A and B are shown apart, each in its own frame.
Chain A
């Protein structure tokens, strides 16, 4: 299993600014994942973060908008850049263990852009 802590849990930000979300895992993991959950919607994968290499982004997501850092095997950050109200969502950090048969999630960061 894995315990994931995310900070901040929520924030209200002005449009045009950036917010960095931190994710800390209680064990070393190879891959960390960042998801977005728009209001009332399901989860959409933004990118996969591997330690020591650039993140891999899913279709529709770009590094300039969502830069990711992965400095070690227990920590990652996701930045939401130049925010607009359309970026208002819950952002979730996740890891998968047990051969990929279970995903563990942080409690999420609820972002509101005004």
Chain B
């Protein structure tokens, strides 16, 4: 069974600081997604990456996929209180539509 380990588990930072969240898989990703979940809501997709070494940017968020497709990082520049939430990496088991989610990183950005 694939295991997705995220670090750190918790992160509390001041507005304007930078941060990086990591996701490591016990096996090669089929298709890596990053989601953000805000309190009282379901997770919402931020990005999908499929190619080893791929880098994607979404405004202040930069997503990097490892060359071996077993790890990923999410970097946030100049964090804002609106970035607060639970960040989850996920993999969709090939051909099944079933998702495995990482252990999660709970981010709090203080104004």
Q: How far is the CB of B47 from chain A (nearest CB, A)?
A: 10
Inter-chain contact B45/A103, CB cutoff 8 Å: yes
Q: How far is the CB of A38 from chain B (nearest CB, A)?
A: 11
Q: A residues within 8 Å of B by Cβ?
A: 4, 9, 31, 33, 40-45, 48, 92, 94, 96, 100-108, 110
Q: Would you call the interface of chain A mostly helix, strand, loop, or mixed?
A: strand
> 12 A-B contacts, Cβ less than 8 Å apart?
A31-B97, A33-B97, A40-B106, A42-B103, A92-B42, A96-B92, A96-B97, A100-B95, A100-B97, A101-B48, A103-B43, A103-B90
Q: How far is the CB of B29 from chain A (nearest CB, A)?
A: 12
Bound-complex Cα distance A107 to B44 (A): 10
Q: How far is the CB of B50 from chain A (nearest CB, A)?
A: 8
Q: Is B76 an interface residue when CB atoms closer than 8 A count as contact?
A: no
